[in-house]
Chains A and B, each alone.
Chain A
């Protein structure tokens, strides 16, 4: 009994001490240390994941969200624009379609005080290509200055980057390519790193990275939290106002929605489930802001297959599909119908599918099939994947099946498999029609056309059109905006006629923010760059 009493006494004392010490301070979440800056610290919550904070090892939105704020690129894209402007460089100008010259701003520095020179720029590209990380963007996006050997090894072309002086960088491209300037805006391929800090042949650990962007990284705990503060040495065009910004990582959209609802995060951005967005819109304690998006979903025909090779079948399905119903029924209106593979907002965008097919019309679809002598119903195997694109994909697949079968022209068999298997079997022709998604690498319509239409697309669906190849080559080699946009229109019209794929919807750029926040709307644009420097919290 004595021993029990002693134990109880010790435990009780410990609990009291803990409670007393716990009650000794104020609520830590309400304050905290801040560096320079006028706004209060604020917290961004996201379900995006970070692959790497060293630009040489990342090619995903979760990583680039931090990278856009930590690093500079030579050029960048202002909010709600596709026009390229200077960042670390005053400007980048094409001398000719194969030569791009960039002039750095004088006095640029990294957050450790090291000067940023043309040598750092060259080093950044060289090391990204040298490291050749499978998760890095360099080996995919820098094709105009690299060569790929038969064994897959990518090397920088000899003399591709010249640095005649400390503030000048000249890129010599191996073919006329005006899209290269857009690649330079993407940190995964073109962020500038300090050659005295980043090793040449391997990635720097995430928590040690430094850049020359408006913010610097103070702390990074993978999949948990990143803490950023103002970069005191930043002299670029986008100075931040808030001394300290936290990024909280969530594994589940519902947990993020709850955190937003309870103001545990100040901004919730990417990705909330459609039903959560709908619920939060009814909550007076938060604001749901929406900007134009650039993430798309589309259905790809297996043009090499017995069913998909028949143009009339592809066109008839395009004639039947009701995108509005998909957007409202499967996504609660949180996405917009898409009538071209290029989403609205890009120069040269054209709603070619709307022009070609108008409103959904089963009667017209029937005529198309009858004219081609195709008996109905046409049996279609439609593929989708359950988790990779979110839970609403199943609703979209079911709605597509309902629409096609309601026309009386198609008999649909839905098949699904997880993403790792899906991306293998769709290339093997397992489905006549299958869903995929796309997120742009750079803000130019070319990024929605060349990867989809040249040589069967990256999804290898068997579509080939010599005219398309010629047009793409021409627009990539042209420095005339008018010429390029005219070609973009032609390519979209060809897609609507040949129907190698059927665009479905374009996502909105949605954020939910709490009281006192301002500037969130300013950064919600199709680029999906979350510009911390535009956002502030009062108080």
Chain B
């Protein structure tokens, strides 16, 4: 006998995929209209004030800005549906090429930050939960709150000023100029390309450059993991099965790590997708602080240039990435925990 049907994994995955479409549509619509209602003329802003009115009119026509708004909107949706995210106004680059050339750096930074956040957040959360209300618990909770609340550029700046010099760590970029010059792009992700090159000095150089930005960004979300793991640890430690295990005479340490720990980690997977979105947002600030050549820094550059074409394209790619990663996390979560399929 099957249950109401909604518990089927394929059906769940299908429902989630179908839901992605309106989500992306809403985001695309917001991106499009928010940029259109912003004050100023994007064409004259991107192409400078030196254009004469005739040339400006030509540029506006070429870029489609003289067409009715609804026609522009339809063109935009059609283009995105064909995976054409447009072209930047100011330097005439296809947005997808900008994403390819800079997305790798953002991905490396984001993943490294994730690893740091998990490596720091989960153990600290477990310790805090295990030793509730101890001095250690209070200190860890305080650390979690501060790391989450502190402005990212401020944390980055402190690390640049006080941590980088004594440890000899670089404060800017993803590699030294000579490494960037010598490592030939194969995947367009320097962190991978440098390992593929087998150049030990270059690997060391890239890893050294990664430390401070990844720590800065990782600290941003490790507080979330600390809190989440701590709370779940407390809840599972009070669960009946833990008490039952203890009643059966299993040592407290084994109960903690074999039973409570595993169950406390399940909700972490649930919030990974949400945290990824937060990380991408944080990456914009981190990349600017550390001159990290990623998509976030590029986005800031285009915003400063009032290049609405580029901003629209990059934000769209960002948004789609977040939605798709959320979908992936939901599916993984459903695979691990059948309860979420309902």
Q: Give residues in A with beta carbon < 8 Å to B.
A: 1, 18, 21-29, 31-33, 41, 43, 49, 51-52, 57, 59, 134-135, 139-140, 148, 150-152, 203, 218-219, 221-225, 227, 246, 248, 250-252, 254-256, 258-259, 262, 264, 387, 417-421, 423-424, 458
Cα distance, A23 to B52, chains bound together (Å): 58
Rounded to whole Å, the gap between the CB of B24 and the closest CB of chain A is 28
A387 / chain B contacts, CB cutoff of 8 Å: 304
Count how many chain B residues have C-beta atoms less than 8 Å from C-beta atoms of the other chain: 63
**A255 and B171 form a contact (CB under 8 A):** yes
B53 / chain A contacts, CB cutoff of 8 Å: 152
**B306 and A419 form a contact (CB under 8 A):** yes
**B101 and A152 form a contact (CB under 8 A):** no
B177 / chain A contacts, CB cutoff of 8 Å: 29, 32, 41, 43, 225, 227, 246, 248
**B181 and A246 form a contact (CB under 8 A):** yes
User: Which of A33, A148, A259, A387 counts the most chain B CB atoms within 10 A?
Assistant: A259
**B91 and A222 form a contact (CB under 8 A):** yes
**A140 and B50 form a contact (CB under 8 A):** yes
Cα distance, A29 to B201, chains bound together (Å): 9
Given contacts A223-B293, A250-B291, contact A28 B304 (CB under 8 A): no
B42 / chain A contacts, CB cutoff of 8 Å: 420
A262 / chain B contacts, CB cutoff of 8 Å: 164-165, 170-171
Instruction: Select which of A32, A57, A135, A421 is within 8 A of B178 by beta carbon.
Output: A32
Rounded to whole Å, the gap between the CB of B336 and the closest CB of chain A is 15
**A225 and B172 form a contact (CB under 8 A):** no
Given contacts A134-B51, A222-B91, A223-B301, contact A152 B57 (CB under 8 A): yes
B258 / chain A contacts, CB cutoff of 8 Å: 1
Beyond A22-B207, A33-B182, 9 additional contacts (C-beta under 8 Å) are A21-B198, A22-B203, A29-B177, A32-B181, A57-B92, A140-B50, A203-B92, A221-B180, A424-B41
Cα distance, A248 to B297, chains bound together (Å): 14
**A420 and B41 form a contact (CB under 8 A):** yes
Instruction: Select which of A26, A148, A255 is within 8 A of B290 by beta carbon.
Output: A255
**A24 and B47 form a contact (CB under 8 A):** no
User: Which of B47, B201, B207 counts the most chain A CB atoms within 10 A?
Assistant: B201
**A134 and B55 form a contact (CB under 8 A):** yes
Within 8 A of A (CB), among B194-218: 195, 198-205, 207
Q: Does B289 make an interface contact (CB < 8 A)?
A: yes
Within 8 A of A (CB), among B269-290: 288-290
A25 / chain B contacts, CB cutoff of 8 Å: 199-202, 204
Cα distance, A52 to B47, chains bound together (Å): 13
**B180 and A225 form a contact (CB under 8 A):** yes
**A223 and B298 form a contact (CB under 8 A):** yes
Would you give 24 A-B contacts (Cβ < 8 Å), ordered by A? A1-B258, A23-B200, A25-B200, A25-B202, A26-B201, A28-B199, A29-B177, A59-B50, A134-B48, A135-B48, A151-B58, A152-B53, A152-B57, A221-B101, A222-B101, A223-B298, A227-B181, A255-B289, A255-B290, A258-B160, A420-B40, A420-B41, A424-B41, A458-B50
Rounded to whole Å, the gap between the CB of B51 and the closest CB of chain A is 6
| Closest chain B residue, CB of each to CB of A387 | B304
Cα distance, A59 to B91, chains bound together (Å): 12
Q: Report B78-105 CB contacts with A as 1/0, cut-off 8 Å.
A: 0000000000001111000000011000
**A218 and B298 form a contact (CB under 8 A):** no
**B57 and A29 form a contact (CB under 8 A):** no
Interface class of chain A by DSSP? loop
Q: Does B173 make an interface contact (CB < 8 A)?
A: yes
Rounded to whole Å, the gap between the CB of B210 and the closest CB of chain A is 11
| Closest chain A residue, CB of each to CB of B49 | A423
| Closest chain A residue, CB of each to CB of B55 | A152
Cα distance, A387 to B204, chains bound together (Å): 38
A256 / chain B contacts, CB cutoff of 8 Å: 172, 291
**B204 and A23 form a contact (CB under 8 A):** yes
**B54 and A152 form a contact (CB under 8 A):** yes
Cα distance, A49 to B301, chains bound together (Å): 9
Given contacts A255-B290, A255-B291, contact A419 B180 (CB under 8 A): no
| Closest chain B residue, CB of each to CB of A423 | B49
Cα distance, A387 to B306, chains bound together (Å): 11
A417 / chain B contacts, CB cutoff of 8 Å: 39
Given contacts A252-B289, A258-B171, A264-B171, contact A52 B181 (CB under 8 A): no
Cα distance, A150 to B102, chains bound together (Å): 41
7 smallest A-B Cβ distances: which pairs? Answer: A152-B54, A25-B201, A420-B45, A24-B200, A420-B40, A32-B178, A29-B176
**B50 and A219 form a contact (CB under 8 A):** no
Cα distance, A147 to B280, chains bound together (Å): 49
Instruction: Select which of A135, A218, A458 is within 8 A of B181 by beta carbon.
Output: A218
**B44 and A251 form a contact (CB under 8 A):** no
User: Which of A18, A134, A203, A424 counts the most chain B CB atoms within 10 A?
Assistant: A134
**B182 and A32 form a contact (CB under 8 A):** yes
Cα distance, A213 to B205, chains bound together (Å): 32
Q: Does B112 make an interface contact (CB < 8 A)?
A: no
